[in-house]
A and B are shown apart, each in its own frame.
Chain A
Amino acid sequence: MRLWTQDEFVSRRQGEWTALSDILTSGKPLHKLPAADISRFSALYRGACADLVHARDVGFTPDLVSYLDGLAGRAHNILYAAPPYRIAAAWDLVAREFPRALRRNGRFFALGMTLFFAPMVLCLVATLFFPEFAYQVLSREQLQGMADMYSEAHTGRDESTDAGMAGFYVHNNVGIAFRCFATGILLGFGSLFFLIYNGVVMGTVLGHVIAAGHGKNILTFVCTHGTFELTAIAIAGGAGLQMGYALVDTGGRTRLGSLRAAGRDLAIIILGAAIMLFIAAGLEAFWSPSAAPPPAKWALAGVFTILLTLYFALAGRSTTTARPGLRAGSQGIVATPTPGGRP
């Protein structure tokens, strides 16, 4: 039953639709509008919703229905917007959420560390005792290049080359870390491969350079930023393994639902790893190749190692923090069966 004709309906209601549309196109977030405008906005939004239902119900022409659909949809996005970002939430991530998430998923963290550092140490030792082993892993030219690069100590005199190479490694190593994580979606096999592969390559290079007699140079260069960088790679790989494991052991959910249930922790962990990588990048570009004396570099590496260990073990342990942390969407990353999702 049609109470109004379409033309009557449009001419009566169009004023409000335009008013709502104007607020939407002004592009201001709702919480920055004056209070009167906010309550007016919600009234206009509810009006548009009612109009949409009415238009659909009585069968007005499709262009009107889709216009109202779009209008109410956009208003909905503004009204139910994500909470504004607070510095406190970022601080929460660093100070509490990241170490907590790591501890919560400690077995994947441990697995990542093992899969990365065990091959590294094995190959390092193997190369030291059997120098020929290195040539099984990398080509002669690559190894020669590595040895040449560390044939001189980093004294800060050759800064431009050093910073250039450091920049290359920033890209390279960050890429490695993110690849270690992201390829975990292939049932974890990607993370498994990249963790072991990178452990093998890094261990071999380290062993070869040490065997070539430049051990002091490379270790002094690597020690400070390596604390952050290598740990972050292992953490990222562990998160990738966790992602793959969520696809296998679903705990009764759909595969996609299980993945999404793990998503919040994964996001926190990988963000934490990204922050660590950024710190590592800064150190690698400016501190590691600098003219600072080796003892200073080693001392700093030691301090960082202790601080990182304490941070992972202790940060965020207090139970008094009632503040809400980072929010992932208004409903969080909740596991729900997903139609259309491929199991």
Chain B
Amino acid sequence: MNHARAQASPPGARTPPLDTVAEIETPEHIRFRYQLAGPGRRMMAYLIDLAIRGIIVVILGLILQLSSYGFGFGGEGFSTGAFLLVAFAVEWGYYVLWESLWSGRTPGKRSMHLRVLKEGGYPTGFLDIALRNLLRAADFLPMAYSVGLLVMGLDPRFRRLGDMVAGTVVVVEDPGRIGHGLVVQPPPSAAELASLPARPDLSSADLEALDLFLRRVGTLNPAREQELADIIAPVYAKRLGLQYTHSARFLALLYLRAIGRTA
């Protein structure tokens, strides 16, 4: 569990980014990054779950009422008592049941792409889930999850009290997709590409910057595009010892060469 934590890494190691990201390390010594779920997203998930809980209680209540009036089953007292038991079970059992049977998700969390995990990135056990959900009573105080929101705001990992005691975090599970490859218009000719060295030595941060710029090209004002390109292009030309005529085109070609595109 320790090695999942930033502080356990050797001194001088890369500090975790100042971001809403939790990094965990697996037995395969792979580090995953999870985006932590903030209060807004979790509140949405809560509201969805609240609505579902409401619907469940209403439907079960109606069934109990009908069984009492329609079939004379048990009488009114029975149905009222049973209804309150149902309301009690739904109020306290809903989260525990869903999160333990659906590996840390409820329908509300699922729809917001959220999942509850142990802090080391492990799946949550039943006891963790029971604990974090019973402590909703503390987070709810004095009303409408005020304490929970306050604590969440102060904690760098957006944990409410229940999360802290149970040792859980809520993460965003973005399925993600591979973005379509960057399209450069007009398509570069072989000669144009050959004018630059194959695989220029660019760091991933360089690539990310170029990528971001080139993806915005279509949406920028041409004058602005030129202005930005004129700032960046000389930097790379100087570093790599290259010449260029058209700065924006140069950046596009440089990017294509760096990711190894031949056409």
Please list the residues of chain A having a beta carbon within 8 angstroms of any beta carbon in chain B.
2, 4-8, 10, 14, 21, 46, 49, 52-53, 56, 59-64, 66-67, 69-74, 76-77, 80-82, 85, 89, 159-164, 166-168, 170-171, 174-175, 178-179, 181-186, 190, 243, 256, 259-260, 263-264, 266-268, 270-271, 274, 278, 281-282, 285-286, 289, 326-331, 333-334, 336-342
Interchain CB contact under 8 A, A331 and B120: yes
A243 to B134, CA, bound (A): 13
Interchain CB contact under 8 A, A171 and B101: no
- The answer to whether residues A70 and B30 also contact, given A263-B165, A326-B126 and a CB cut-off of 8 A, is no
A92 to B199, CA, bound (A): 62
Q: How many residues of B contact A (CB 8 A)?
A: 79
Provide a sorted-by-A list of 26 A–B residue pairs whose CB atoms are within 8 angstroms.
A2-B260, A5-B260, A10-B178, A52-B30, A52-B32, A59-B204, A61-B211, A62-B204, A62-B208, A69-B176, A77-B115, A89-B126, A162-B77, A163-B76, A170-B85, A183-B137, A259-B164, A263-B127, A267-B130, A326-B126, A327-B125, A329-B118, A329-B122, A329-B124, A329-B128, A329-B167
Which has the most chain A C-beta neighbours within 10 Å: B30, B34, B81, B127? B127
Q: At the interface, yes or no: B194 with Cβ under 8 Å from chain A?
A: no
7 more A-B contacts (CB under 8 A) besides A185-B165, A267-B128?
A67-B176, A67-B178, A170-B88, A171-B87, A266-B165, A267-B127, A331-B1
Interface of A is mostly: helix
Interchain CB contact under 8 A, A166 and B92: no
Interchain CB contact under 8 A, A73 and B165: no
Question: Contacts of B128 on A, CB cut-off 8 Å?
Answer: 263, 267, 328-329, 333
Interchain CB contact under 8 A, B118 and A181: no
| Smallest Cβ-Cβ distance to A79: which chain B residue | B26
A14 to B181, CA, bound (A): 14
Query: CB within 8 Å of A: which of B132-176?
Result: 134-139, 141, 154-157, 161, 164-167, 173-176
Interchain CB contact under 8 A, B85 and A263: no
Interchain CB contact under 8 A, B137 and A182: yes
Please list the residues of chain B having a beta carbon within 8 angstroms of any beta carbon in chain A.
1-2, 5-7, 26-28, 30, 32-34, 75-78, 80-85, 87-89, 92, 100-101, 103, 115, 117-128, 130-131, 134-139, 141, 154-157, 161, 164-167, 173-179, 181, 199, 202-204, 207-208, 211, 259-262
Interchain CB contact under 8 A, B7 and A330: no
A284 to B6, CA, bound (A): 51
Interchain CB contact under 8 A, B28 and A7: no
Interchain CB contact under 8 A, A256 and B103: no
A71 to B176, CA, bound (A): 8
Question: Contacts of B92 on A, CB cut-off 8 Å?
Answer: 174, 178, 274
Interchain CB contact under 8 A, B81 and A70: no
Interchain CB contact under 8 A, A81 and B130: no
Question: Contacts of B165 on A, CB cut-off 8 Å?
Answer: 185, 243, 259-260, 263, 266
Interchain CB contact under 8 A, B28 and A337: no
A48 to B211, CA, bound (A): 24
Question: Contacts of B27 on A, CB cut-off 8 Å?
Answer: 80
Interchain CB contact under 8 A, B103 and A334: no
Question: Contacts of B80 on A, CB cut-off 8 Å?
Answer: 160, 163-164, 167
Question: Contacts of B138 on A, CB cut-off 8 Å?
Answer: 182-186, 190
A90 to B238, CA, bound (A): 69
Question: Contacts of B2 on A, CB cut-off 8 Å?
Answer: 336
Interchain CB contact under 8 A, B100 and A85: yes
Interchain CB contact under 8 A, B174 and A70: yes
Interchain CB contact under 8 A, B134 and A182: yes
Question: Contacts of A331 on B, CB cut-off 8 Å?
Answer: 1, 118, 120, 122
| CB contact between B34 and one of A6, A73, A266 (< 8 Å): that residue | A73
Question: Contacts of A326 on B, CB cut-off 8 Å?
Answer: 125-127
Shortest C-beta distance, A337 to chain B (Å), equals: 7
Interchain CB contact under 8 A, A160 and B77: yes
Interchain CB contact under 8 A, A8 and B260: yes
| Smallest Cβ-Cβ distance to A17: which chain B residue | B178
Shortest C-beta distance, B63 to chain A (Å), equals: 17
A331 to B84, CA, bound (A): 38
Interchain CB contact under 8 A, B83 and A64: no
Interchain CB contact under 8 A, A82 and B166: no
| CB contact between A328 and one of B127, B135, B137, B179 (< 8 Å): that residue | B127
- The answer to whether residues A282 and B123 also contact, given A159-B77, A340-B157 and a CB cut-off of 8 A, is no
Interchain CB contact under 8 A, A282 and B134: no
Across the A-B interface, give the 6 residue pairs with the lowest CB-CB distance, nearest first: A5-B260, A167-B84, A59-B204, A159-B77, A285-B81, A182-B138
Interchain CB contact under 8 A, B211 and A160: no
A334 to B122, CA, bound (A): 13
Question: Contacts of A77 on B, CB cut-off 8 Å?
Answer: 103, 115, 117, 123
| Smallest Cβ-Cβ distance to B208: which chain A residue | A62
Question: Contacts of B261 on A, CB cut-off 8 Å?
Answer: 5, 7
Question: Contacts of B88 on A, CB cut-off 8 Å?
Answer: 170-171, 174, 278, 281
Interchain CB contact under 8 A, A328 and B259: no
Interchain CB contact under 8 A, A334 and B78: no
Question: Contacts of A282 on B, CB cut-off 8 Å?
Answer: 85
Shortest C-beta distance, A48 to chain B (Å), equals: 9
- The answer to whether residues A60 and B204 also contact, given A2-B260, A8-B260 and a CB cut-off of 8 A, is yes
Interchain CB contact under 8 A, B5 and A339: yes
Shortest C-beta distance, B102 to chain A (Å), equals: 9
Question: Contacts of A46 on B, CB cut-off 8 Å?
Answer: 28
- The answer to whether residues A61 and B123 also contact, given A4-B260, A163-B80, A167-B83 and a CB cut-off of 8 A, is no
